[in-house]
Structure 1
Amino acid sequence: MTTKRVLFVGDASHHEFQEPIAWLGEYCTLTIVESCDKATVELANDGRPPDVIVLAAARPGIFEQHQVVSLLRRAPLARIIGLMGGWCEGELRTGYPWRGVTRVYWHQFVPRLAEELACRHIRGRLAMPRTYTEWEANNVTVAVPEVRQRGMAVIRAATIETYEAIAEACQAIGHSTVWVNPRQPAFASGAAVAIWDVGLSIERDKAELAEFAKQVHPAPVIALIGFPRASDRRLAAEYGATCVVSKPYLLPELWTELTRVSLAESSAVDPQVSAA
């Protein structure tokens, strides 16, 4: 299958961009330049324009709207993705976000866009008109992954409402689910995947996360963290999480990670739940 051609514009050494760059390098034909001026030269010299341009901004103000417009003029069929660093989180409220750009934060890039970039044709969020709003992008109809028996998902959440929201997403693609309530601890064996919903802080939850990861081993653990920093992701990994999904998440993001990390369709051990 022909891979997409991607032009990455920005500081490729920035720590928040390492995971997106690694993914793009593995699954796409990737060219990296450090500035819009060099991107202009690359577009002028390359006979085949890129399918996607990634503008990577570690903080607001690195690229301006007129530079986005200039790139669009030189590659009118390319989709532009704004890969935003942690310092850009308040820009939608108090700054001047770029227009005509699909905007994702660094910790959302792989779960949110991997399937769209890996498929043969542009679809989903990337296929929407450049005039779309964030509300329209977040409400685009998405295809549900193949529904099949995927085994048990053990979900640790502080409230029944949170559990039900996560469980609904898991059940939609074929997982059975069980709730681990921190106020009424239980041990679940035979899990295919586990999900830990972090409350206010991974720092506060880290010891319990480590114990939870031991209980569900060898099932992978997905940690749900609100707008995680790089330090949060490192801490989650250190204490047993296989990967991190940022909250608030879109259903396809959670489905992507569930599909990627889940164990085989049926566990070698029959699922069991017992009170602590």
Structure 2
Amino acid sequence: MVDQRTVEVLLLGDLEAAEFSCLLPTLAKLANVRWQRSDETAALANFAWVLLCAARPGRFGEAEVESIRRRNPLAQIVQIHGPWCYGEARTWPLPAGIERIAWYEAPYRLPSLLQSTGGPPIPATSSPQERALALLSDVSRSAEGGEVGIYALTAADFGLLASACQALGMTATWAELDQPPDSSWVGMVAIVASTDRAEFPAIAEAFRHAGDIPKLLCVGAPTWEDWQKGHSCGVTAILGQPFSLADVAQLLIPQGDCGILPLVNRAGKR
């Protein structure tokens, strides 16, 4: 693992937005972090990582990204985008050569990114297909196996999550909303359109009684309200749709020290 003290991270952008308010204190556990507003970066250079927090589409334009890149030519540049930016890649011109992750993915993607020591990084100019294939090559399978309880409202949703679990060497069972979690499960996954659905309170109750196992909530396009409701009932992490098999593997299979950031809210509570 990379020594935390040797990783230099420049954090730019909208940390005042609720979805980014916890990044600075939690990233400090992984690296030396410097936060600046994007218009105050002229003297900041030679960082290993530059994280761009974008709460709205078009927050960081091509000219600004190129200016940052000139001062940090060896840096990996990652845009962490908020819920208003879900459609940005389809409707807004994006700067080339940066990786994008959603705000709710940061807890489980940033540790592996910042602490990675294996192999060369995926080229920033890779296509989505090339990036997906590169990530799949690193997907771990569970040596112990185990059964995952899946809360789904349709057979199609259950089949999707069951296939992901089976690809990771696990089995899956379709859990009943009116039944308590099985004590033999090694993880739980629930898939809902949003936490406003009538079924979510029953799912939340199951999460609360599931014990100390990974609990994943898969939501169509997660909002800040989905995040708050999920974490109030013990959810380990939130997945969007479509989700990455590599993310599911990291979240369901123990990863040693390269795990999940215990993100806290503004009040300092998990």
User: TM-score higher than 0.5 here?
Assistant: yes
Partner residue, 1:41: 43
- Does structure 1 residue 7 correspond to structure 2 residue 10? yes
Q: Please list the CA deviations of residues 57-97 of structure 1 after superposition, one character each: whole Å capped at 9, or x if unmatched.
A: 11123322111111111211111111112222222222121
Taking a change above 3 Å as real, the CA distance of residues 240 and 2 of structure 1, as seen in their structure-2 partners, is closer
Please tell me whether the aligned partners of residues 12 and 18 of structure 1 are also in contact (alpha carbons under 8 angstroms): yes
Please tell me whether the aligned partners of residues 139 and 245 of structure 2 are also in contact (alpha carbons under 8 angstroms): no
Determine the C-alpha separation between the residues in 1 that align with 2:76 and 2:214: 34
Partner residue, 1:24: 27
CA RMSD of aligned residues (A): 2.7
The residue type paired with residue 12 of structure 1 is L
Determine the C-alpha separation between the residues in 2 that align with 1:214 and 1:2: 36
Q: How does 1:1-276 map to 2 (within 5 A)?
A: 1-3=2-4, 4-35=7-38, 37-43=39-45, 49-120=46-117, 123=120, 127-140=121-134, 141-145=136-140, 147-180=142-175, 188-198=182-192, 200-204=193-197, 205-214=199-208, 216-259=210-253
For structure 1, the residue ranges without an aligned partner over 5 or more in a row are: 44-48, 263-276
The residue type paired with residue 109 of structure 1 is A
Taking a change above 3 Å as real, the CA distance of residues 214 and 161 of structure 1, as seen in their structure-2 partners, is same
Determine the C-alpha separation between the residues in 1 that align with 2:106 and 2:164: 20
Deviation at 1:206, TM superposition (A): 2.3
Determine the C-alpha separation between the residues in 1 that align with 2:194 and 2:15: 29
Q: Could you say what secondary structure the match of 2:153 adopts?
A: coil
Please tell me whether the aligned partners of residues 194 and 222 of structure 2 are also in contact (alpha carbons under 8 angstroms): no
Taking a change above 3 Å as real, the CA distance of residues 211 and 14 of structure 1, as seen in their structure-2 partners, is closer
The residue type paired with residue 39 of structure 1 is T
Q: Could you say what secondary structure the match of 1:107 adopts?
A: helix
With normalisation by structure 2, the TM-score equals: 0.81
Taking a change above 3 Å as real, the CA distance of residues 68 and 122 of structure 1, as seen in their structure-2 partners, is farther
Determine the C-alpha separation between the residues in 1 that align with 2:129 and 2:208: 39
Q: Counting helix residues as a fraction of each chain, which structure ranks higher?
A: 1
The residue type paired with residue 107 of structure 2 is V
Give 1 or 2 for the bigger CA radius of gyration: 1
Taking a change above 3 Å as real, the CA distance of residues 238 and 261 of structure 1, as seen in their structure-2 partners, is farther
Determine the C-alpha separation between the residues in 2 that align with 1:166 and 1:76: 40
The residue type paired with residue 161 of structure 1 is A
Please tell me whether the aligned partners of residues 9 and 47 of structure 2 are also in contact (alpha carbons under 8 angstroms): yes
The residue type paired with residue 244 of structure 1 is I
Please tell me whether the aligned partners of residues 189 and 215 of structure 1 are also in contact (alpha carbons under 8 angstroms): no
Q: Please list the CA deviations of residues 163-205 of structure 1 after superposition, one character each: whole Å capped at 9, or x if unmatched.
A: 23322332344433222256x968633222111111x221113
For structure 2, the residue ranges without an aligned partner over 5 or more in a row are: 257-270
Determine the C-alpha separation between the residues in 2 that align with 1:188 and 1:238: 21
The residue type paired with residue 82 of structure 1 is Q
Give me the identity figure in percent: 27
Determine the C-alpha separation between the residues in 1 that align with 2:255 and 2:179: 25
Please tell me whether the aligned partners of residues 116 and 122 of structure 1 are also in contact (alpha carbons under 8 angstroms): no
Determine the C-alpha separation between the residues in 2 that align with 1:144 and 1:226: 23
Q: Relative contact order (alpha carbons < 8 A, sep ≥ 6): 1 or 2 greater?
A: 2
With normalisation by structure 1, the TM-score equals: 0.79
Taking a change above 3 Å as real, the CA distance of residues 54 and 240 of structure 1, as seen in their structure-2 partners, is closer
The residue type paired with residue 190 of structure 1 is S
Deviation at 1:149, TM superposition (A): 0.8
